[in-house]
Chain A
Amino acid sequence: MKTRGVLLVMLIALLLEAGCKRQAGTAGSFFPASNQVAGWATTGEIRTFEAADLWKYIDGEAERYLKAGAQRVSTADYKFQNKIDAAVDIYTMANAEGAETIFRGEPPVDVKPIQLGDAARLSSQSLMFRKGRFLVRIVAFEESAETQQALSQLGQGIELRFGR
């Protein structure tokens, strides 16, 4: 009975440790919570797709990401001041080269480079940047005078969390 109790405690401790490891260092922890970036609020759960399930999220593009070493993507929806809906995707690649491969592979059309992470591009409704082995894409579903500025601020909020 006593041995069974000790085993149970050890099992619970192991499970707790595994759970913490899973949480620490996952892309989920890079998503700012509501109002950690001024005006931006989360509107749904963070969903994560591991490499084997990448196609369930980006079927048709998954091969390109996998070839570049994608390990997983986490995604979450946001809203800016109840006006602009946006989706944030954070890809975790095996290394920085993988993030650069995807970034360079997308031709710059109607975008401008901005100072963010290792490299970044901003369009009227989207922001893509890479930092180390992370690649971030933020897509806004409404275009307005505030959209670009708001996207930049959210991008900065995410980049800060990479540094922690």
Chain B
Amino acid sequence: MRSRCGADRRDFLKKCLTGVAVLGASGRIGLLAAAEEGAALAKSRVVVARDAMLRGTGTTVDSGRMLTLLDRAMQALFDRDNPIEPWKKLVHPGEMVGLKVNALGGRGLSSNVQLVEAICERLQEAGIKASDIVVWDRDSDEMEHVGFHVVAGGNRVQCFGTDRVDYEPELSTFGSVGSRLSKILTQRCNVLINVPVLKDHDGAGVTIALKNMYGVIHNPNKYHPNGCNPYIADLNMLPEIRSKMRLTICDASTACFEGGPGYKPEYSWKNNGLIVSQDPVALDYTGWQVIERKRAEKGLKTLEGDKRAPNYIATAADAQHRLGANDPKRIAMVEA
């Protein structure tokens, strides 16, 4: 596991210290047992935060309520009382932070502008310069179409697509994947915050955190066979992605339970929530369960029954990848 939240680390240390005490009392076996128990208890935290009044009495998301919802989610994830503290743990002044949004679903099912503004606000309060933040996806026009304003240059938060800077000329490879990476990822940011959308996906089953990295490469269309498996997991193993990824904030304000990844209102629902985690595999597993519950409510088959279970999630967790946890016993789901 690459990263865990502070609370889990504290739990782990507490268990280890308990082990030291046990060693004094009953020797080496006691310590090993305690350490193993501690490791088994180290869980990936996934926060599911909701606000039934996120849209007030209207249909669009309220900016103030979104900021409050984000604070609640981040404070729960990092076990902090102050809304700025989680961000200070996450990023440091001088770092260049990329927010990889998802604008592919078009209007109605793309990363919410209000959410991205709230993240940018907190990042700046944590000491990141506005011009060191870049909001990005593959295409500037697609981003503008869903409400982002393209900004390139100056002292403001930067916002543009890879079309403005192109992909690296050389391929990055891992396993089944060989792709040219966006220069925004390779040259414009050393910290990546993933801001995907909670969606059903025709091929992969679901598209949430891990699949959103398809928007980072020049040839995503090559990686859809076999339910995108093992392509999604392999792609997320690329060092440029894996080493920079610090957090996923999944926009689940409007989510999609069927017919994704494009927006189809009849298959979407106003979920009014966020799902936040530092473990993208645990987040995808949790999001998958949210989608399954909605499918059951609507009388649809499970994704397994529809022959498109998101098997890529298990691949991402396997011994060759270890991108995170897909075992529910190793996921601490927190509602906030």
Contacts and interface: CB of A to CB of B under 8 A. Distances in A.
Interface of A: 55, 58-64, 85, 87, 106-107, 109-111, 123-126, 137, 139-143
Interface stretch (B32-40, B81-89, B100-108, B309-317): B100-108
B203 A60 contact: yes
Contact of B224 (A63, A137, A143): A63
Contacts, number: 65
A58 B199 CA distance: 14
Contacts of B202: 60-61, 63-64
Nearest to B225: A63
Contacts of B220: 55, 59
A112 to B, nearest CB: 10
B106 A87 contact: yes
Contact of B108 (A55, A59, A63, A141): A141
Nearest to B108: A141
A59 B104 contact: yes
B203 A107 contact: no
B300 interface: yes
Contacts of B267: 109
B128 to A, nearest CB: 31
A59 B264 contact: no
Contacts of A107: 258, 300
B72 interface: no
B266 interface: yes
Contact of B260 (A60, A85, A140): A60
A61 B258 CA distance: 12
Contacts of A85: 107
Contacts of A126: 264-266
Nearest to B300: A107
Contacts of B266: 109-111, 123-126
Contacts of A124: 265-266
A115 to B, nearest CB: 19
A58 B207 CA distance: 14
